[in-house]
Amino acid sequence: DTDDTAPGADIFVFEPDEIEPLVTAEVSSSALFASRFRECAATAAPVPRRHPGKRSPLWHQRQRAAQLLDVARNYPDFPIVLEAVRECL
């Protein structure tokens, strides 16, 4: 029942509808995605600053972005999530 032949190139052919969700799922669980999401969220301004005009600590930005990401994961078409995925790819 076992073939001694190597698999052909056909195992590397994917349909776009099959590969997109797989790649998006893998990318969205990476550290790069978290970083890009934080930057996109800061640019889009849904993460409010306590003191406008002053810099906020990086740990605070990460915390606020993580809170937003926890909510945004429930909405796959959330614009900031889509932008962060695009930047990662």
Identify the CA nearest to 46 among candidates 71, 29, 28. 71
- Model pTM greater than 0.75? no
Classify burial at 35, counting beta carbons within 10 Å of its beta carbon; exposed 0-12, middle 13-18, buried 19 or more: middle
How far apart CA 25 and CA 85 sit, in angstroms, is 10
To which residue do tokens 């993460």 refer?
Answer: 47
Chain centre distance of CA 86 = 8
Residue of higher predicted confidence among 14 and 80 = 80
**pLDDT, tens digit, 9 for 90 and up, residues 30-65:** 999 999 999 998 888 665 666 777 887 888 888 988
| Strand, helix or coil for residue 22 | helix
